Each structure stands twice: as structure tokens, then as C-alpha cells.
């Protein structure tokens, strides 16, 4: 739906009021279909929050607004339930637990609930992984999702349809073990203790949080990239100029993620409108740390805004030919269980994804 693409583009370019001015002139049937389509791609709550933020709720018929409001209230209740379950689980457990993204990310980017709470992602040390599964099963009536195959994590479900993604690895792809230094032991070193109602758990420090967002973006931006770009944009606007650049660079180097951070910054800068200070910071970081301009060159070859918004992947003609003609290379790509875009990115930097 062309209107959806326009909505995404104009929102990231800080032009939502202009989009809405045109939208409210449309016939009601179009508006209804637009909002219905937003729900199918998990953007209806985001649209509702945009309307609230810009005080446009009274500019649409209540017939359109009421279902959005009801959905928001329903998801708010679900989100609160998930929080209570998480804190009870942490209080019951006798091992460190690190919350990944979730509501603490919303707090960091200054956003209200803008997407459905489909799961709670937590990281534990590898030695505590089996015990964590046992606690969820025995104390909270969770069960392991059948036929669930993912590297370094286990999906746990309960009768309330709550899902806990329990991680002992940050990324569920074997191939990345040969590239990134992302063991749970190392990641806990980048965390800070948080106390909530006498319950202690961990979250990433601000610099590691950004690195994590960049890694997550690289892996998933083909499928639902808009929300990830929104999170990155909001994070940068609130924290970039107060983050310690030396600490960010040290963490990125330690975990072999400097290229990922640079590539993500280039994409987000291309898609979003930032003030000049932010743009200058991004440009300085990229030019200073992009050795031989390898990432920038790869970015210019592969990235096209139109493809991003269409969610059809980002093509690289040279690498596509490589995949089609070199059978052994294609097998490597398939076994790595990663997206074509991610594979192309690493190949363009001359990296080898060894299957472990």
C-alpha cells in the first residue's frame, strides 16, 4: 500500500503533520483500509501514538480512533502483566538476569507503548541456562516451545500465551560466533544493575545498548525495519551527544562490531532527518573509524531507500552473481541461517562466515 510507505518516510523525516493533513482529506473507506493494513504489519499502535503526540486524535472520526484506543489499552494491560511476571521471575531466581530491550528501551527512547509485547527477551550466563529453564517450568508453568530450533536460546511459553525468549547468546546464529565476541560472560561486563521494588536485575550500559540496537538492526531490518529505524533515531536524538564516544568505540572494538555501528549509522542518517550537530557527529565518527572507507563503499553499492521501504531486501549485484554461480558459497550462506542482506554485507567487507 503506497500510503504506508509514505507514512514511514514522512515520519522518519519529521513530516508526520504534513502526512496527516493529506490523510484526513481521504475518504473514510481509505482511512479504514489504511489503519487495517497497519495492524497487519504491527504499526497500528505506532500510528495511534503518533496521533496522540501531535494531538490529532480529535481530527478523525471516533469510529476510527476507538478501535486503536482499545487495542492500545489491551496491549498496555498485557505489557504490565509481562513486567510483573518478569520481576517475579527475577525475584525467584538465584542467578543474574539481564533484560534485553523491552520496556527499558522504551524508557531510553522516551516512547510510550508503540508495538505489541510479543515476548520478553532475557540473557543469562551459560552455566545458569538450564536452571533458568527449570525455574520457568516448575515455578511459572512455562514449557519449552516444541520443535523450536535456535542457536543459544530457548523459547518458553505458558498458558497465558506469554513468551520468554531465554538467551545464553545474544544472537541466534552460529555463524556470528566466529566474528563477534558476544558471550554472556563478556556481555554482563557491559551491564549495570537496576533495582525495581527491591528486585535487582541488569540492563546494558548506554553505549552497549546502542551497539546491541545496531546488531539487531543488521539482522532484522529486511522484515520490519521501520520500527528498528525509529528506535535508533529516537535513541540517537536522546543519547548520542551524551554518550562517551571513547567508550562506545572501545565496546564496539571489543565485540568486533565497529563496522556494524558505522553501517547502521549510515543507513539511519540516510533515512532520517537529524539536526546538524547529530549529522556532524555521525560524519566524524564514520570518517574517523571507517578504515579505507570499506563500509561506506559497501553502503553506497548496496543501499537504496526505495528497496528499504518496500521490504524486499537490499541487492548487491556483484554478490548476487557470486551466490548464484558459486555453489559452495551458496551452501555456506544457507547453512549460516542468516538473511541474504546480512551475508552480502559481510562478504562486501571481505569477511568469511565460518559455519561452526
Mean pLDDT of 22-26: 96
Query: Does 286 score more than 60 pLDDT?
Result: yes
Burial bucket for residue 11 (CB in 10 Å: 0-12, 13-18, 19+):
buried
Task: Give SS3 for 193.
Answer: strand
Contacts of residue 328, Cβ cutoff 8 Å, sequence gap at least 6:
none
- More reliable by pLDDT, 175 or 47: 47
pLDDT confidence of residue 322: 41
pLDDT confidence of residue 328: 42
Is residue 42 very low, low, confident or very high in pLDDT (cuts 50, 70, 90)?
confident
Neighbours of 84 (CB within 10 A): 9
Is residue 241 very low, low, confident or very high in pLDDT (cuts 50, 70, 90)?
confident
Query: Does 238 score more than 70 pLDDT?
Result: yes
pLDDT confidence of residue 324: 44
Is residue 347 very low, low, confident or very high in pLDDT (cuts 50, 70, 90)?
low
pLDDT confidence of residue 343: 57
pLDDT confidence of residue 298: 81
- More reliable by pLDDT, 111 or 335: 111
pLDDT confidence of residue 348: 56
pLDDT confidence of residue 26: 96
Query: Does 254 score more than 80 pLDDT?
Result: yes
pLDDT confidence of residue 114: 85
Is residue 297 very low, low, confident or very high in pLDDT (cuts 50, 70, 90)?
confident
| pLDDT tens digits, 48-67 | 999 999 999 999 999 999 99
Question: CA dist 17 to 20, 32, 52, Å?
Answer: 5, 19, 12
pLDDT confidence of residue 121: 94
- More reliable by pLDDT, 138 or 178: 138
- More reliable by pLDDT, 216 or 73: 73
CA 243 from centre of chain = 19
Average pLDDT, whole number, for the chain? 84
Between CA 98 and CA 218 the distance in angstroms is 22
Between CA 305 and CA 326 the distance in angstroms is 29
pLDDT confidence of residue 319: 39
Q: What residue spans define the domains of the chain?
A: 94-204, 208-348
Q: What is the pTM of this model?
A: 0.86
| pLDDT tens digits, 77-136 | 989 989 999 999 999 999 999 999 989 899 999 888 888 777 899 999 999 999 999 999
Is residue 338 very low, low, confident or very high in pLDDT (cuts 50, 70, 90)?
low
Between CA 282 and CA 271 the distance in angstroms is 13
Burial bucket for residue 201 (CB in 10 Å: 0-12, 13-18, 19+):
buried
- More reliable by pLDDT, 132 or 298: 132
pLDDT confidence of residue 342: 60
| pLDDT tens digits, 162-214 | 899 999 988 877 767 667 888 899 999 999 999 988 999 999 999 999 999 99
Query: Does 271 score more than 80 pLDDT?
Result: yes
CATH for 94-204 is 3.30.460.40
Amino acid at each position: 500500500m503506497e500510503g504506508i510507505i509514505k507514512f514511514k518516510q514522512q515520519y522518519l523525516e519529521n513530516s508526520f503533520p504534513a502526512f496527516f493533513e493529506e490523510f484526513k482529506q481521504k475518504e473514510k473507506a481509505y482511512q479504514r483500509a489504511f489503519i487495517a493494513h497497519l495492524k497487519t504489519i504491527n504499526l497500528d499502535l505506532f500510528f495511534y501514538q503518533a496521533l496522540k503526540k501531535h494531538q490529532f486524535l480529535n481530527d478523525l472520526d471516533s469510529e476510527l480512533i476507538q478501535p486503536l484506543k482499545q487495542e492500545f489499552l489491551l496491549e498496555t494491560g498485557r505489557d504490565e502483566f509481562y513486567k510483573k511476571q518478569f520481576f517475579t521471575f527475577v525475584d525467584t531466581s538465584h542467578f543474574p538476569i539481564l533484560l534485553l530491550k523491552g520496556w527499558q528501551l522504551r524508557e531510553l527512547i522516551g516512547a510510550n507503548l508503540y508495538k505489541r509485547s510479543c515476548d520478553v527477551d532475557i540473557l543469562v550466563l551459560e552455566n545458569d541456562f538450564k536452571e533458568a529453564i527449570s525455574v520457568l517450568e516448575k515455578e511459572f508453568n512455562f514449557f519449552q516451545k516444541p520443535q523450536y530450533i535456535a542457536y543459544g536460546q530457548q523459547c518458553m511459553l505458558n498458558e497465558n500465551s506469554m513468551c520468554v525468549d531465554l538467551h545464553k547468546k545474544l544472537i541466534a546464529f552460529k555463524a556470528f560466533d566466529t566474528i563477534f565476541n558476544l558471550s554472556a560472560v563478556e556481555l554482563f561486563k557491559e551491564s549495570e544493575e537496576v533495582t525495581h521494588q527491591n528486585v535487582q536485575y541488569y540492563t546494558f550500559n548506554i553505549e552497549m545498548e546502542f551497539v546491541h540496537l545496531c546488531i539487531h538492526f543488521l539482522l532484522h531490518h529486511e522484515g520490519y525495519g521501520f520500527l528498528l529505524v525509529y528506535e535508533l533515531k529516537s535513541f540517537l536524538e536522546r543519547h548520542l551527544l551524551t554518550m562517551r564516544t571513547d567508550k562506545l568505540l572501545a565496546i564496539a572494538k571489543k565485540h568486533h562490531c565497529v563496522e556494524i555501528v558505522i553501517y547502521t549509522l549510515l543507513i539511519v542518517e540516510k533515512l532520517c532527518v537529524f539536526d546538524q550537530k547529530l549529522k556532524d557527529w555521525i560524519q566524524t565518527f564514520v570518517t574517523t573509524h571507517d578504515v579505507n572507507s570499506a563500509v561506506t563503499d559497501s553502503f553506497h553499492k548496496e543501499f537504496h531507500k526505495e528497496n528499504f521501504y518496500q521490504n524486499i531486501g537490499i541487492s548487491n549485484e556483484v554478490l548476487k552473481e557470486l551466490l548464484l554461480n558459486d555453489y559452495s558459497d551458496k551452501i555456506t550462506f544457507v547453512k549460516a541461517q542468516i538473511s541474504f542482506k546480512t551475508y552480502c554485507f559481510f562478504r562486501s567487507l571481505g569477511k568469511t562466515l565460518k559455519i561452526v
